[in-house]
Structure 1
Amino acid sequence: MNILLIGSGGREHALARSLSASPLCSKLLIAPGNPGTAQYGTNVALDVADHRAVIDFCRVMGIGFVVVGPEAPLVAGLVDDLKGAGIKAFGPSRAAAQLEGSKAFTKDLCAEFGIPTAAYRRFTDAEAAKAYVRSYGAPIVVKADGLAAGKGVVVALSFEEAEAAIDMMIGGGLGAAGAEVVIEAFLEGEEASFFALCDGTRAIPFGTAQDHKRVFDGDEGPNTGGMGAYSPAAVLTPELQARVMREIIEPTLAGMKARGMPYTGILYAGLMLTKAGPQLIEYNARLGDPETQVLLPRLRSDLVAALLAACDGALDGVSLQWSDAAALTVVMAAKGYPGAVEKGSEIRGLAQAEALNDVIVFHAGTKQDGDRILAHGGRVLNVTALGSTITEAQRRAYDAVDRIDWPEGFCRRDIGWRAVERERA
């Protein structure tokens, strides 16, 4: 069948690589794609915010299946409109995508269905929010309710930090996303990411990972969309994974179905592994970025077949096979990220990096200019490597990073440090 992939980042480069490898894929088109996705299909200039244009394109091109990568089209209801036009599409409905589109929605769902998560309050008034913080104390977490590209969470270690975050969010610093804030208790423990493939009724595990949100080495600096990741996450033992499915994923699916908005798609649970057990930090309604870049290189099963089974409510017959290899990705970002960055600097050495064994360089924010590859975003490249251990994958990834000639870029040099320490112990 002809498949249309929606998106333009590193996640979509990884998806394009896996989708195109399926025997079920006759032709892959990517809207709008990037220079990396063009290796696996045809990039098309399509305004994905114009749902009628997407539907018309699908009909003209004989698209049998649409895979939506990013969160914004999901929250905007693209899957609903495609299905309404008789076009099969992978991803949650607009209503179900509220699990990512509204942190307040998710917290209320957790409260209603007994899903373990941090205590919280919701506010639209800045002074009331600050009064609550004064009464509660710090550390405390301030979150914008809506989509904020990974930048809507502040872990405030003092009242002053919390107050500044509240004023910034409710004051319009994140646009409509911060009109309401969720203030929640600070959880102590180790963070990990758990993915599940859902068909509205059932869910099956879709891998584990750990990412690095802070911009600088040693987990210093502001939060970002992610500076690197690795998979699998050894901290999520088989016993813990079973507990996450039982206490978090399955009650969420049951709750969404009870609310009349069954969840179909990838459910990405950001977890805090506390002394009391795993607790939900937040949900994403799609594959993570950069986590996809370490999950999919480890997947041995046919991705297209698995996604179609989820769409058809048929996951009871699916068993996914994974490589025993570990994967690690290092994000190379433009200097200044997560703040303002300059676009247009040339990146050299990509072929030399990919010439190394078990290395894949995923494009995240690049632009083709003749024979040149230019930086065209904040997070620009995801340098991914496989290895028998996280330590080996880390070494290979940084060997590849060091072959890339891009003075205007930077990366963290400690991606995977927790796993490396565990492997050395």
Structure 2
Amino acid sequence: MKEVGILIVSYGSRAASMVDAFSRSDKYDVTFYIADKQNNPYNLKMAKISEGDHEVTGLDVNRIFGFARKYRDEIDFGIVGPEGPIIDGVRDRIENELCIPIICPTSKYALEGSKVRQREIIDKVHPSANPEYKVFSKDQYQTEKEAIEDLNKWIEQNGIEVAVKPDTPAAGKGVGVWGDHFTTKKELIEDWFLPNLKGGKVILEEKVDGEEWSLQFISDGTHLIPTPPVRDYKRAYDRDLGPNTGGMGTYTYKKTQLPFMDPEDWEEGIEIAKKIFIELKKNTRPENLRGVPLYMGYVSCKDGVKAFEINSRFGDPECQNTMALIKDDFVDVCLKMIEGELDEIKFKDKCTVLTYAVPMTYGNARKEYTGTKKINLQNAHRLKEKYGENLRIHQGSMIEENGVTKTGTSRTVSTVGIADTIQEAREISLEAIRRIDGALWNRWDIASKEHIQESKQNMKEIRK
């Protein structure tokens, strides 16, 4: 087997799923060098087993760079999970100074750094994919009163059912939506508009009725390869209640479809992304777009497909579903990306369901929790004797201290079920969730028959 050293910039279950995918290679003997946000027990184990290294660098580019420099002669390439280091230029620095190829776009093409830039690009290449929107900039106004007057004029023309978004990333948690987060103009202004405006820029967008889904596109900078579409559950609680989170669960159905999608939705989603990709490729070297240059958030609505966000990395939890479905050797996929020769990826014709188990205080479920944070996954892992490769368990915000595994503050562990049907995959995921020993909670309606039927019925009514 050929030896390969891989640098992984890690935070959460997303990166753990990539480590897992690399470790399954039949062609390569992988050594892991993991720059982690925290002492993730799985990453610690995998670095130790492979005789590599693991270091808690946080998401600071200088510390990540220092870690990579120590092993520059052993590392063949790197891959970045979280968005922060991508936006802050981790690839630019490591490639320029250490000559280690990194799989993620350069900082210039980290589109999630600005929602305004996203809207401007879509306006240029496929304007029908944009909702009605307006950008408000702090620099435009002398006083808050002027900004509020301008806001009122726009609302009079477009209606008050809007989404309020900060220009810069907030992991979905800085977004306020009419009917969900506020129901009066006073709440809109005081709780969402003015606080976001203080950050520099805020966008108001018409609230689009429809069903959300996402597409991640993997690229060598020349070819753009779509992965199977994913449905994400952003709200903290069952029935899509509670605050937005990083994502409480996901499911996939077919390679080009979700149950509520029409074939035209997939085709338009691909078309929008291709046009954006062509625009980005102008006046740049193809390799600058290597990685996942487009992770598109879409809404299927009455007049086609709208784009509600663009990210420039794998999603979390969407990455975990994708890693479970890739048939090709993931090391080969990455090497072909670097060589500019990735023109195809094969995916399993299976369904996946992912459920996240989270800490007691996550999503404001409790104001305080003073009990034990100890967690044990042994019984969940034993289910692999029953399900084999059809169950994946990925450790996220977990910390190892003095040999004891504890929950962190964010999403703790994800369980992915893989099967021929969504409901079979869901049962595998939930059976593993039930076997976790620890003070955690989760949504119970991820990919439920009822939720899927409601989504299908909603789209049927909208398309009338």
With normalisation by structure 2, the TM-score equals: 0.82
C-alpha distance in 1, partners of 2:368/2:42? 21
| 1:122 aligned partner | 135
C-alpha distance in 1, partners of 2:360/2:289? 38
Match of 2:160 among 131, 138, 142: 138
| 2:281 aligned partner | 257
Per mean C-alpha deviation after superposition, the further-off stretch among 81-90 and 234-243 is 234-243
Secondary structure of 2:203 counterpart: strand
Match of 2:238 among 202, 211, 217: 217
| 1:30 aligned partner | 34
C-alpha distance in 2, partners of 1:220/1:34? 30
In percent, how many aligned pairs have the same letter? Answer: 27
State the number of aligned residues: 414
Match of 2:208 among 187, 196, 211: 187
Kindly state the Cα deviation for residue 237 of structure 1 after the two structures are TM-superposed. 5.5
Residues 47 and 353 (structure 1), Cα distance of their counterparts in 2 relative to 1, 3 Å cut: closer
Secondary structure of 1:122 counterpart: strand
Kindly state the Cα deviation for residue 55 of structure 1 after the two structures are TM-superposed. 4.0
Kindly state the Cα deviation for residue 234 of structure 1 after the two structures are TM-superposed. 3.6
Q: Which runs of 5+ in 2 are unaligned?
A: 139-146, 458-464
Larger Rg: 2
Kindly state the Cα deviation for residue 259 of structure 1 after the two structures are TM-superposed. 5.7
Map 1:152-167 onto structure 2 (within 5 A).
152-157=174-179, 158=183, 159-163=185-189, 164-167=191-194
| 1:363 aligned partner | 395
Q: Establish whether residue 271 from structure 1 lines up as the match of residue 303 from structure 2.
A: no
Q: Which amino acid aligns with 1:149?
A: A
C-alpha distance in 2, partners of 1:309/1:89? 13
Residues 46 and 251 (structure 1), Cα distance of their counterparts in 2 relative to 1, 3 Å cut: same
Map 1:17-416 onto structure 2 (within 5 A).
17-22=20-25, 23-32=27-36, 34-42=40-48, 44-47=54-57, 49-61=59-71, 62-85=74-97, 86-97=99-110, 99-115=111-127, 116-125=129-138, 126-127=147-148, 128-129=150-151, 131-157=153-179, 158=183, 159-163=185-189, 164-171=191-198, 178-232=199-253, 233-236=258-261, 239-246=264-271, 248-258=272-282, 260=284, 263-266=289-292, 267-316=294-343, 319-339=344-364, 345-356=372-383, 357=387, 358-407=390-439, 409-416=440-447
C-alpha distance in 2, partners of 1:25/1:230? 31
Kindly state the Cα deviation for residue 330 of structure 1 after the two structures are TM-superposed. 1.0
Secondary structure of 1:379 counterpart: coil
Secondary structure of 2:120 counterpart: helix
Per mean C-alpha deviation after superposition, the further-off stretch among 226-235 and 273-282 is 226-235
Q: Which amino acid aligns with 2:31?
A: K
Secondary structure of 1:308 counterpart: helix
C-alpha distance in 1, partners of 2:15/2:371? 21
Residues 166 and 255 (structure 1), Cα distance of their counterparts in 2 relative to 1, 3 Å cut: same
Residues 36 and 234 (structure 1), Cα distance of their counterparts in 2 relative to 1, 3 Å cut: farther
C-alpha distance in 2, partners of 1:238/1:314? 29
Q: Which runs of 5+ in 1 are unaligned?
A: 172-177
Secondary structure of 2:412 counterpart: strand
CA shift digits 1:367-399 (9 cap, x unpaired)? 113443211112111122222211011112222
Kindly state the Cα deviation for residue 77 of structure 1 after the two structures are TM-superposed. 0.6
CA shift digits 1:298-340 (9 cap, x unpaired)? 2111122222322333233xx2121222111111111232346
C-alpha distance in 2, partners of 1:41/1:50? 20
Q: Which amino acid aligns with 1:294?
A: N
Residues 365 and 121 (structure 1), Cα distance of their counterparts in 2 relative to 1, 3 Å cut: same
Per mean C-alpha deviation after superposition, the further-off stretch among 355-364 and 73-82 is 355-364
C-alpha distance in 1, partners of 2:452/2:299? 20
| 1:174 aligned partner | none
Query: Would you say the 8 A contact 1:391–1:423 is kept in 2?
Result: no
